[in-house]
Structure 1
Amino acid sequence: MTTDKSLSHMIDEVRGLVADLHPRPRRLRVRAGEFDLEMEWPDEPEATSLPPAQVVAVEPAGPAPDSTTVAIESPLVGHFFRSPEPGADPFVAPGDVVQEGQVVAIVEAMKLMNRITAPGPGRVVRILPADGDVVEYGQQLILLEPDESARMEIAS
């Protein structure tokens, strides 16, 4: 259900953005998080209202997250960066083990670098956006496989 809701929200957002464009594009492709959306409008003379878009193709950009994974979500809208500066090593890569509070990425918003941290110990399964991608509030950034044994050690 969350996927359907996210997809519906994405389609509504794209329609809203396109409605303000003059001239209107004939075809548009958008990739956001796990979605790859392609929309196409019929060839018609410019009308006073925007005809409904037809969704041509909607495919997950990768495998669906496992129910055992925990998603680190973006707390704000901005540009996603995997490393502290251009050319530097990334904070984390798939397969890396992270600890609670460890910086795993940065989201830049209005020239402010916002540190994204791991909510708990675990192993990085997948990094969803590409370096430099614009991310939305609540968009999944990184999937972690929680390490319950590490959590128990920290708690005791």
Structure 2
Amino acid sequence: MHEEQFSDWFLGKDHFDLDYTRHEDHQLAKARDEIEAMRAAREKDLQEFAKKQAEMEATLRDHREEQRVEQERIRLEQEERMKREQERMRVEHEERMQQEQERMRKEQERLRAEISKELEKKMSSVMEKKMSDMSKRLFSQFGGSKR
């Protein structure tokens, strides 16, 4: 052995140790790269998760807003339907009241006509009786004494 080789061997600096050290350095660098790649992948996954979560929250907000709008539309439709129904019932009631008033007016006219006829008959009967009584009195006073 040469003196230099001997001192390297004696100090433990043979080629095997240098190769092993380089191999360890390479393994450490490779492990650091893998850790960095895993960290980057995890960061990317977290960003994607945050993005998807934000999208889901936006979708949920949109859905809630759509539900609110739909509920408001339904409420307005029901309100409008109730107004139309109330108006229909008011018109029907008014028509029934007008029909009833017309029926009552006709009934009053009929009763007035009937009462007028009855009064006429009674007055006519009373007048006939008075005329008859008057005729009898006049006849008895003036006509009956000439016999």
TM-score by length of 1: 0.15
Structure with more helix by fraction: 2
Structure with more strand by fraction: 1
Which structure is richer in relative contact order (CA contacts within 8 A, separation 6 or more)?
1
TM-score by length of 2: 0.15
